[in-house]
Structure 1
Amino acid sequence: MRNLRLTSAAVLALAVVIAACAPAGPAAQSPSTGQPKRGGTLILARSGEVTNLDPHKVPAFTSARVFELVYSYLMRLDENLGVQPDLAASMPTTSADGKTVTVKIRTGVKFHNGDPLTSADVKYTFDRIIDPKTAAVARSFFGDVNSITAPDDSTVVFDLKTPNAALIAYMAHPNTGIVSKKIGEANADLSKKETAIGSGPFKLAEWVPDNFMRFEANKSYYVEGQPYLDGIRINVVPDESGLAAALRTKAADMAIVYDPKVARTLRSETAITLDSKPSLSYNLLFLNTKRKPFDNAKVRQAIAYAIDRKAIIDAVAFGEGEITGPIAPALTNYALPTSQYPLYTRDVAKAKQLLQEANVGPVQFTILTATTEPAYGKDEAQLVQAQLAEAGITVKIETTELTQYVDRWLKADFDMATGLNGGGPDPDFYVFRYFTDDGNLNFVTSYKNPTSSDAIKAARATTDVAKRKDLYTTAQKELVNGVPFIWLFVGRDYMATLPTTKGFTHLPTGSIIYLRQTWLDK
């Protein structure tokens, strides 16, 4: 197995805390050499279709990757996951009490339709995200915002109820793309191609669902000289096994890979470069605590004891992964070693004992899984099915296309579901929205725990790393014992390219934002 480049733990843990004092660095650059060449259309292959084009409502990775091409963000993450200004002209300033954050935005920026982008559009965007009626994915990130004002065309002021240590980093989240106030007010539905008008490096020119999306370069993009490409075409393959053939025959210049089996194949191809980074995304099982038998904590704990995480990693990820708890191992300042969790040591006898104590009768339920995200979701479900059978638990499996899966997930219409959840450079990215009582994604499992909720809220409000560590320690122990999710492992984020694809910077979040600086050596 090739050596994997680990992201700096210190940077990961402290990225958000030091964001306010970080210098405004240049755009991330690839280590590749040579003068960038202009022109050409890059073909990007992947499995999985966009589920919706509303940049604020869709959690699916397939949609997020498109948002990163079409829309602009106040901030961005660099190659070390440090927070840097993007649409913002400089790093935001924060008042001494931490309750006022002021953002200066670039002047002269235009939307794809030629309209100027001003602070009014930024205010409209974040007001839309915060509005509960929008049901925005990122709403809980900005729950501490009391009001947003735009005192002039290039200034936006966020007034906070309490300090939020992660707020500036959240401005780089793929579900915070800046939309046009004019377009938003004229269209209640932003999910259509016609309303996908941002100020990002590429314009969406054509979309044939389940086939391809074609993008044209934004010649008025605010980063001088970028993008280098004339355009991008995203081709959807039926499954990831087709990615190797697409690259081998040069039908694609680049491929997004999730399936470790496919990555293993690509690694053996001498004419293909496979870049692999420890992922910040969690492979897990969602448990709907509103439904029987998952309303019983002992049943949930019994299932946790019956799971063999290492066997799952070995089978679906070929050993390329680490067992994880609620905070990914890469966030070393905060993540507890999973050896501290009794429920992580497989014990079928203990599982049977807890089921007897639960006194709920025969336990049976259905696992919902999708054909993609992850591609091996059904394999995970089958392994869980076999492992739980040893404890006397009967499991059925229901597999759907990703679009149907997301719709069911957003309605919490499942007993248990496999999942691949995105993480970030700060624990708050992940835990706040799911595990605080008022988190906007708490509805997915309906799990309530005042102790963990209060600890997570308190950790958001302080920049003291030691205090945050103590608070997150409390939260992690409570969550693992409460079992709203069964965290399995964090795997690898893979990106495959041909030698002629240059300048791309691969982030462990899976982001393709740096296609704006990518070029073709053809």
Structure 2
Amino acid sequence: MARFKFRTGAWLGALLLTAAALTACSGGSSGGGSAKGDPAKPVDLLKWAGPGPVVTLDGSVAGDAASMDGIYLASGQLTRFNADGKPVLDLAESVDMAKDGLTATIKLRPNLKYSDGTPITSEDFQYAVERNRKGTGASFVATIKSVDVVDDTTAVAHLKGPDPDFLTWLAERGTQLHPKKLIESDPDYWKHPVSGGPYMVDKGWTPGSDVFRAVENPNYPKGPMMAKAIEIRSVPDAASRVLQVTSGELDAAIDLPLSSKDNFPAEVKTSYAGVGGTNYVVANETLGGPFANAKVRQAMSYAIDRKSISQKAFFGLQPASTSPMFNCGDLCERDLLPEKGARDVAKAKQLMQEAGYANGFDAEMKVSSGRGGWQEAAVIVAQNLADIGIRVKVTPVDEGQHFSSITKQNYQLFFTGGGGKAQSTLSQMLNTGDFWVKATGWTPPAEAAEVMQRTASELDPAKRREAYTEAQKIWMDAMHVIPVTERIQLNASRVSPNLLVLQVKNDQKVIVQTVAEAKQGLKAGSL
């Protein structure tokens, strides 16, 4: 059995809990795979739906939830998240960290092959890191200085500093494994990629189509899978997703209106939990004008009634933001926003006057039409901003337009959301070239890079918390991304939660059970 290997060293104390989880035989909950009958009897097809389609399987350009689900299921990963959000070994046989925390030797399992028979090599990891440096997966490789290929199954990652989250990054889309030669030789590779993961894309899939279908990858080392095929369907209308899982047309549905949580029949089980993220109002500075003025953005933050949005749009289940970061435990100090995020219209008007916009201005705010409660929240934000003279037209867009519009900077304001690990969220907000910095056109101050280095590499918990607080204060001064409420996602399923895990702790990562896990009564992702 493969295990995560450590050399002893005091700096590794911050990683001990993760290390304990990172074995190929970690435990899991008891229970079967299929919803009825033999819990270890495979099912032919699992169908679930979210608000949008799988538009790409390239982790360096993806950002929408459906695409990321497709990526995690149909891509090779060195480690893979279990149901508790901990990384367990997958295609890596071992990861050996040096005493000083500056190098990690990664050894692949022997004789690994992609779904087409192409060998999986350590060069593919090196290539993944370099491809993602300027992509949407940049935050996941930000602490890796370089990768040396020792041989076909061994790579050495050189880090910029000790990284308590390094094992997590090996499970993220920024390090998804695909063959360098095929990517570089085929301009259409991402329409029909090979896979090192549990599933491979079925023939005939078109990016952005209503149904993404993938079938079991016979070369996946942890297979066979309990579901021989999966379908991720695009059902933009949230009410339709509720109806389809209620009727049995779908096995599961993701990102449902929080108001529907008590309206399902007994055979449909719901779950809701934080996705490790926040709903935001983001402002595009590249257009110039009022949104390029930090005081205008700060005024908007003061004007937003977070508690009202929490209660009216999200039924009190999504708590009002009190800090820029979501509640990420000991790392994230709470109540950092002025007045703990409470509304202060007088202060907002004062800032608008200081910025030269006492008479306000007109603006448009886009919002995804398929996410539960988002349109209602956007309307309340617009009403709040009207009180300080910002006259906002709310424009719903479908899920595909949502991500495209943000990445192409084709917006003035956007009501949107983000989710993920704490360090990657901070990186996206404050690191030059990372996702939200690039999407909003904001220029981080000089001190941001140094602070972000400390948030990534500081091993003393108290000092790392201090760095996180400094980073949040830089974010508050800019307010290029305005926190509104912490994100909660409601999912519903007709099948065993062991067969299909729809959400891991503080993130959305769909996991499907293996036959080996089902035979041992373990939840998906345990082995």
Match of 1:513 among 494, 511, 514: 511
Query: 1:264 Cα shift?
Result: 4.3
Paired residue secondary structure (2:301): helix
Query: 1:21 Cα shift?
Result: 6.3
Q: Distance in 1 between matches of 2:60 and 2:158?
A: 21
Matches within 5 A, 1:61-460: 61-90=65-94, 92-130=95-133, 132=134, 136-192=135-191, 194=192, 196-205=193-202, 206-207=204-205, 209-223=208-222, 225-266=223-264, 269-290=265-286, 291-324=288-321, 325-329=323-327, 331-338=328-335, 341-342=338-339, 344-360=341-357, 361-372=359-370, 374-424=371-421, 427-439=422-434, 441-447=436-442, 448-460=444-456
Preserved contact between residue 32 and residue 502 of structure 1 (Cα < 8 Å): yes
Q: Which residue of 2 aligns with 1:466?
A: 462
Give the total of aligned pairs: 494
Shifted more, 431-440 versus 297-306: the winner is: 431-440
Q: Does 1:47 align with 2:51?
A: yes
Preserved contact between residue 226 and residue 512 of structure 2 (Cα < 8 Å): no
Paired residue secondary structure (2:128): helix
Question: In the superposition, relative to structure 1, how do residues 17 and 475 fare at CA in structure 2: closer, same or farther (>3 Å)?
Answer: farther
Amino acid at match of 1:403: G
Query: 1:221 Cα shift?
Result: 1.6
Amino acid at match of 1:322: P
Query: 1:343 Cα shift?
Result: 6.8
Paired residue secondary structure (2:105): strand
Preserved contact between residue 327 and residue 334 of structure 1 (Cα < 8 Å): no
> What do you get for the CA RMSD once the two structures are aligned?
2.6
Q: Distance in 2 between matches of 1:371 and 1:108?
A: 46
Q: Distance in 1 between matches of 2:187 and 2:419?
A: 28
Cα deviation, 1:207-234, whole Å, max 9, x if unaligned, reads: 36543222211222211x4312221122
Q: Distance in 2 between matches of 1:243 and 1:413?
A: 28
Q: Which residue of 2 aligns with 1:503?
A: 499
Cα deviation, 1:105-139, whole Å, max 9, x if unaligned, reads: 11122111122212122222222223x4xxx2112
Paired residue secondary structure (1:293): helix
Amino acid at match of 2:392: V
Q: Distance in 2 between matches of 1:412 and 1:342?
A: 31
Aligned sequence identity (%): 25
Q: Distance in 2 between matches of 1:189 and 1:54?
A: 11
Unaligned ranges ≥5, structure 2: 1-12, 33-37, 522-527
Query: 1:15 Cα shift?
Result: 7.9
Q: Distance in 1 between matches of 2:258 and 2:441?
A: 32
Amino acid at match of 1:44: W
Query: 1:97 Cα shift?
Result: 2.5
Length-normalised TM-score, structure 1: 0.87
Paired residue secondary structure (2:116): coil
Preserved contact between residue 453 and residue 475 of structure 1 (Cα < 8 Å): no
Cα deviation, 1:186-220, whole Å, max 9, x if unaligned, reads: 1245431x2x2111111211436543222211222
Preserved contact between residue 139 and residue 424 of structure 2 (Cα < 8 Å): no
Preserved contact between residue 326 and residue 431 of structure 1 (Cα < 8 Å): no
Unaligned ranges ≥5, structure 1: 1-13
Q: Distance in 2 between matches of 1:326 and 1:25?
A: 36
